[in-house]
Structure 1
Amino acid sequence: MVELTTPQPARHPAPTAKAQKLAYLRLERPDLDKAERFLNDFGLRTASRSSRALYLRGTGAEPFCYQVTRADKARFVGIGFEVDSREALTRLSQLPEASAIQPVDYPGGGEVVRLTDPSGFSVEAIHGQTPVEVLPHRPALSFNSPVQPCRINDTQRPPLAPPDIIRLGNVVLEVADFQATCGWYTQHFGLIPSDVQVFADGSPAVVFMRLDLGDIPADHHTLAMAQGFMPAYSHSAYEVIDTDAVGMGQRLLKAQGWQHAWGIGRHLLGSQIFDYWEDPWAAKHEHYCDGDVFTADQPMGVHPVSREGMSQWGQPMPASFTKPKLTQAALRALAHNLRRSPDLTVKKLMTLAKLFG
């Protein structure tokens, strides 16, 4: 049993708004052609494209889930949450430094309020998007168990094609200011901590947060955050129909020459069967299926942070998966945040380096 000796991620009693889904990611890339080629091979479908911006979607009714805009340097910009009403947008627009409610020219339209979280990530709250037609995808394959075979005189032949991405599932961020950033999302978007991994002193190392949808089951996590030495994108995850889709994705991405990062395996917290790949700028993207879902009344779990706690089976997490690139800018951020952030200490960094380095 882990003793809690420091404040932990916690539900907020009266959040400003409640996010209904993770609507999209926003990234900048110097080469839209290269970005589109990877994302199409990964399984996302191009929704629209101009000389300036690229929008991609899954098979669901969301008009897009991934925005790429042209820029000189590759950069993760931020995320968009769908909220349930214009009143929620109004409340969010009254927060300090929030934008007014503004129309957008994204696929599907709608209105947004633009905010910045305590770690500097852009966060857009969007409402009023027009859904699009759902695209067909193959059904999940049947499974012959030893005690109950269901597929008699039949075979399994999934198509040799990029796996159909059903939807954007979650995003994982690294932050220096853990408590402030976590608290901002629970206070303003109503996220609920599902599980937290903690250091030996009880302070949080990683938190997995889900949407508060009441009695409707929500993914184990929609946003996860890890204690780091600077704000950074860790990875994003996209749901596919079954394990065969995860495996087919690995086969085809490998054949196309893309860089594999980790997998196939099954996570411990969240239970997803996973496989991770890197885009041309080393940003990690995950195929997953069979994740846990919780209603709002499920309490938070507390676990010691460890490499073993990242997966139940499969290849152990490689050191390259979490190892940061120590550029001059990163070293300056490390020195700055060690002096400034109340959540970052040399001891924590040494613990993380020992566990995951």
Structure 2
Amino acid sequence: MQLTSPQPARHPNPTTRATGLAYLIFERPSLIEAAEFLTDFGLRFVSRRKNLVFFRGTEASPFCYVVRRGGRARFAGLGLRVETVAELKALQNVAGASRAEPCSWPGGGWRVHLTDPSGFQVDVIQGQDAVEEINHRPILPVNAPADVHRINKTQRAPLCAPEVIKLGHVVLELANFQATCAWYTQHFGFIPSDVQVLPDGSPAAVFMRLDLGDKPADHHTLALAQGIAPAYSHSAYELVDADAVGMGERVLREHRREHAWGIGRHILGSQIFDYWNDPWGDKHEHYCDGDLFTADVPMGVHEASREAMSQWGQVMPASFTRPKLGLSTVAAVVRGLRESPDLSVAKLRALHKVFG
């Protein structure tokens, strides 16, 4: 399978090399409903400031999830970390960027606001203070036929919401795939780990990791998928082990939350996963046991299909990628066909054939 489009590809001299996905921002009409779901899901309340609520995992980041009161539910943007002041200053020269300003959110630091070619808000933060890690339960010992760790002991995972350790990745759909992918590789040094392609060789989705050199990085921190319009697909949150993923499913079902897909194991990234919809239908993923790559591993190219999304478990349901029906969807298709060089009637047919 050949990739015919110029993106995804590494940039030889990126403006910066992002070191982490700092946070996601969502607007919600009800902060209470949002907090109830996120608590059931396993995130921890940090603080509330007027119309903002902050949540965190157990790692040393002061927060990873922001809920802002808004008239309608929507994904508002993401935050990336850079290491140096020089990198933050360099980003001020990107078209449409703000000047660096102090960040008043937990952890402080300095921040530059940007907008990617698909219209997503991207905050870049530097100098944020770490906080003390929260102890989470250890990995439960597993007995294998030739590797026994438990004798005269039982296996009992705690019956409670799973402990989210960190925000792992975010997946965005977009009409302008080439320009948006190039923007992230050029300005933040993202490395394409794997790309899934349509029968004509054009990219359907790319999974990109941080360039941390010899330090292993998650298989993907940002994934971009060809779609009909800019849209949030899902975000993913790491748990300690498969028992935590399974307990998360039990707790969320008992709280009558809406299940989206899982449990299974992905092919690209290898994570054991389970997806849940929040009260506004936005997908949130529990995962554990993901792949880690250093910067020298080359990109893989794979045929796109629903079957290619998991090794075992339920095949990805067609509903997982189906856009919401309505006049706004029709308008988005028309606008995308008119304005995006990456979208065509043939591309829409191919996406529908592959993903249903």
2:190 corresponds to which letter in structure 1?
A: L
Matching of residue 330 in structure 1 with residue 329 in structure 2: yes
2:246 alignment partner in structure 1: 247
1:236 alignment partner in structure 2: 235
Q: Is the 8 A contact 1:8 1:203 kept in 2?
A: no
Q: Percent identity?
A: 63
Instruction: Give the Å deviation of 1:329.
Output: 1.8
Q: Deviations over 1:184-219 (max 9, x none)?
A: 000000000000001111111100000000000000
1:310 alignment partner in structure 2: 309
How does 1:200-279 map onto structure 2 within 5 Å? 200-279=199-278
Matching of residue 28 in structure 1 with residue 62 in structure 2: no
How does 1:293-304 map onto structure 2 within 5 Å? 293-304=292-303
Matching of residue 171 in structure 1 with residue 170 in structure 2: yes
2:10 corresponds to which letter in structure 1?
A: R
Instruction: Give the Å deviation of 1:154.
Output: 1.1
Q: Is the 8 A contact 1:276 1:286 kept in 2?
A: yes
Matching of residue 45 in structure 1 with residue 44 in structure 2: yes
Q: Is the 8 A contact 2:261 2:274 kept in 1?
A: yes
1:113 alignment partner in structure 2: 112
Q: Deviations over 1:130-179 (max 9, x none)?
A: 11111111000111001111111111111101100000000000000001
Instruction: Give the Å deviation of 1:350.
Output: 1.3
2:96 corresponds to which letter in structure 1?
A: E
TM-score by length of 1: 0.98
Task: Give secondary structure in 2 for the equivalent of 1:271.
Answer: coil
For 2:337 and 2:145, the matched residues in 1 are separated by: 55
2:342 alignment partner in structure 1: 343
Unpaired runs of 5+ residues, structure 2, are none
Q: Deviations over 1:293-335 (max 9, x none)?
A: 0000000000111111100000111111111112212211110
For 1:85 and 1:50, the matched residues in 2 are separated by: 28
Instruction: Give the Å deviation of 1:349.
Output: 1.2
2:222 corresponds to which letter in structure 1?
A: L
TM-score by length of 2: 0.99
Task: Give secondary structure in 1 for the equivalent of 2:35.
Answer: helix
Q: CA RMSD in A?
A: 0.8
Unpaired runs of 5+ residues, structure 1, are none
- The number of aligned residues is 356
For 1:341 and 1:57, the matched residues in 2 are separated by: 37
For 1:182 and 1:208, the matched residues in 2 are separated by: 10
2:347 corresponds to which letter in structure 1?
A: K
2:326 corresponds to which letter in structure 1?
A: T
For 2:275 and 2:340, the matched residues in 1 are separated by: 31
1:327 corresponds to which letter in structure 2?
A: G
For 2:186 and 2:49, the matched residues in 1 are separated by: 37
